[in-house]
Structure 1
Amino acid sequence: MDRQNSQTFNPEHLLLVDSMREHLADVLKPCHTNEYLFRFLKAQDYNVNRAVEAFVSTMNWRKKNQIDSIVETAQEDPYLRVLRNFWPGRFLEGASVDQIVYYEDVGVLDIKHILSVIPHKYIIKYHMYMMELQEIERRRMHQEQGCPISMIIIYDMRNVGTKHIQVAGFEILRELAKIDEEHYPEFLDKIYLVNTSGILSAVLKMARLFVPEKFVSKIQIGTGNLLSMLSISSLPSTIGGTSTVNFSFCGSLNYYDIFPDAERVTIGNKSHHTVCQSVDTPGSILDINFVSECNDIGLTVSRQKAEEGSQGEDEKIIFPLKRFNSHVNAVSLQVRASKAGKYAVRFDNTYSTWTSKCVTYKINVLHPNTAVGSDAITDST
């Protein structure tokens, strides 16, 4: 058995971890240290069978969502690239030798606006990316310190108001809390809500409807012993620290920040706009991204029929007509093309009797090996 830092576990815990290793011998990797396995064990109340099931479930989830490559491919993802610069949160370096400390200025977030520019699934993906960065840092610190590493989150609640009480925001919070509880167990130690206001009680009341009680139980109002526990020089002045780091963040975000060469078109009432894309390599991915202004828009994707006089099938609908509220939620759709040929992406406004629609879009043809989400649509020929 890997006895790395075994002094952090009592003999009984080591025996349970050993038992987990025996059950998981065929799937374990070098990064699956005793400390990592123990987190699953502790989350399942030291029941080895349940811990093994939870671990296997997490490995399947990681494979399905291509988590192992998410850090190295983040720079290639236009949404993650922008979110890394935009999102109002950062790790506080040097704050603690045995804890990862993350600070987020919640008050500057406008979730309604963010969702109108960034698709929901990429906000979730960004969270996965950040959790993986923390796992990497956790392993590094654990190797250096020789003791378990926990995580503290500081949410700065100044400027939080009624605009932050959004159902969409709480639904995202619920999804993130579920991911953390199931796939990053026993990572989060404490959540500090600082610079709180009278709106906090309403926020917490709403939160209890969306997230597990175990998550809520880790919340502490105010700084508590935070300032005595962490290095003051690493904390922002808004919570009593003396750090000279600039904690200001990008305030505005628009679609051209993500896709500078996005195209904008006005589609008349009872009309449509078709974008044709040539696919040379079978298995390539049509990456379709768009937003609209003020109103919804329809979309359909088809593979075009062969040219006149040649042998081939008729036009095939791959993605049937669907109306998207893309003026509220940005859309990102991936379609895997099983055959080479010409594909048509059609923005449809034929159902609108009176209203023209403005659509901003970016469509790419990606290499077959490009990592895409499990929700990608396959042209099943």
Structure 2
Amino acid sequence: MGDTGAQAEVLPTTDDSGVVGTLTVEQQSALNTFRDKVKDVIRPEHDDRFLLKWLKARKFDLNKSEEMLRNSLSWREKNNVDTILEDFESPEVIKKYFTGGTSGFDKEGCPIWVDPLGRLDFKGLCACARKIDLIKHKVYRLELYTKIMKEQSKKLGKVIDRETIIYDMEKVGMRHLWKPGIDTFNQFVTLVEDNYPERLKFIFIVNAPKIFPVIWKLVRPFVAEETRKKIKVFGTTNYKDTLLEHIDADQLPAAYGGTLVDKFGDPRCGDMVGNTV
């Protein structure tokens, strides 16, 4: 866990059980039953791999999985999520100051989301933008990445439906403990957990400050157990080799051990991943 004092339970693992090709007899039976229970709402593109995400997210509890899927499909319809890439454009202040963006793809072809969270002035952003637009911006980016993953799947000839995330917490301090900001971040976490199950491959948290255990205590209740298993927290050292195990150097910003810089020569790739001032 590096030198942050965070709990040792959050170690990165991937669980490939409960997916197509690895199902037990009981899991296959559950999938067959689940498919029949939700046949009135699923679409032709909702294949077994899609259905298994919801089952796995609720540990193959059929009733909970059905409720989760139906609630999510209702949420998508209510909020016009299927057309958000065409219908919504984030306000300029959000596009300019909200951190996060892609640096490329990991070694398996999954997109990488790099987010210099410590450089986000969320309080200032909330003063200049409506909360509903912040949430829509988040959904927009999630749907954009879904589109990117579909394009990658076609390009590589294999299913790409997970992403690798790097959260850079350099400069995170007491100002980031602003309660409305924490509450909104947790709302983002809940939105992802409820509507984009089994999407995460890994989360690498780097440059975690000494107050990280305090922040983690506030966020942890909103993070699913399976998600927590995919998180690795580092202090300011010893993370670059780990990142390079999963990401080729030319896809990783130079500030994190790779060779990638943006068009301005910034080793943090600020032009690609957001405000790095």
TM-score when normalising by structure 2: 0.77
CA distance in 2, matches of 1:138, 1:18: 26
* TM-aligned CA distance change 1:140 to 1:169, over 3 Å: same
- AA at the equivalent of 1:241: G
Q: Distance in 2 between matches of 1:190 and 1:7?
A: 20
| Residue 64 of structure 1 pairs with residue 78 of structure 2 | yes
Indicate yes or no: 2:43 matched with 1:36. Answer: no
Letter in 1 for 2:161: I
Shift of 1:95: 2.7
Amino acid in structure 1 at the alignment position of 2:242: N
Q: In the TM superposition, what is the alpha-carbon distance from 1:213 to its structure 2 partner?
A: 5.5
Unaligned runs of 5+ in 1: 1-5, 253-381
Indicate the larger mover: 6-15 or 172-181. 6-15
Whether 1:194 and 2:206 are equivalent positions in the alignment is yes
Q: Which residue of 2 aligns with 1:106?
A: 117
Structure with larger Rg: 1
> Does the CA-based 8 Å contact 1:41-1:51 persist in structure 2?
yes
| AA matched with 1:59 | L
Query: Equivalent of 2:151, from 128, 140, 143?
Result: 140
- Establish whether residue 239 from structure 1 lines up as the match of residue 256 from structure 2: yes
Task: Compute the displacement of 1:100 (Å).
Answer: 2.6
> Are the aligned partners of 1:98 and 1:150 in contact in 2 as well (CA < 8 Å)?
no
Deviation readout 1:310-329 (Å, 9 max, x if unpaired): xxxxxxxxxxxxxxxxxxxx
Distance 2:256 2:181 in 1: 24
The equivalent residue for 1:331 is none
The number of equivalent residue pairs is 243
With over 3 angstroms needed to count, the CA separation of the structure-2 counterparts of 1:11 and 1:147, relative to structure 1, is farther
The DSSP-based 3-state class of the residue aligned with 1:146 is coil
Partner residue of 2:243 out of 226, 239, 248: 226
Q: Does 1:122 align with 2:133?
A: yes
Q: Distance in 2 between matches of 1:15 and 1:145?
A: 29
Bigger drift between 157-166 and 241-250 goes to 241-250
Name the CA distance, whole Å, in 1 between partners of 2:206 and 2:215.
14
Deviation at 1:205, TM superposition (A): 3.1
Relative to structure 1, the CA distance from residue 104 to residue 203 in structure 2 (aligned partners, 3 Å threshold; closer, same or farther) is same
How far has the Cα of 1:7 moved from its partner? 5.6
CA contact (8 A) 2:104 2:252 kept: no
Do the aligned partners of residues 85 and 34 (structure 1) sit closer, same or farther apart at CA in structure 2, a change above 3 Å counting?
A: farther
Contact 2:262/2:270 (CA < 8 Å) preserved in 1? no
Contact 1:97 1:145 in 2 (8 A): no
SS state at 2:104 partner: coil
RMSD over equivalenced CA pairs, Å: 2.6
**What displacement does 1:147 show?**
4.2
Q: CA–CA distance in 2 between the matches of 1:8 and 1:226?
A: 29
Paired letter, 1:248: G
Which structure has more relative contact order (CA 8 Å, sep 6+)? It is: 2
Shift of 1:25: 2.1
The one-letter code sitting in structure 2 at the alignment partner of 1:236 is P
**Is the 1:98–1:145 contact (alpha carbons within 8 Å) kept by the matching residues of 2?**
no
Give secondary structure in 2 for the equivalent of 1:59. helix
Q: Decide which structure has greater strand share.
A: 1
| Identical columns (%) | 24
More helix by share: 2
Q: Could you tell me how far apart the structure 1 residues matched to 2:93 and 2:22 are?
A: 41
Look up the match of 1:337.
none
Q: Which runs of 5 or more residues in structure 2 are unaligned?
A: 1-18, 264-268
**Alpha-carbon distance between aligned partners in 1 of 2:139 and 2:45, rounded to the nearest angstrom:** 17
Note the alpha carbon deviations across 1:277-318, whole angstroms, 9 max, x for none: xxxxxxxxxxxxxxxxxxxxxxxxxxxxxxxxxxxxxxxxxx
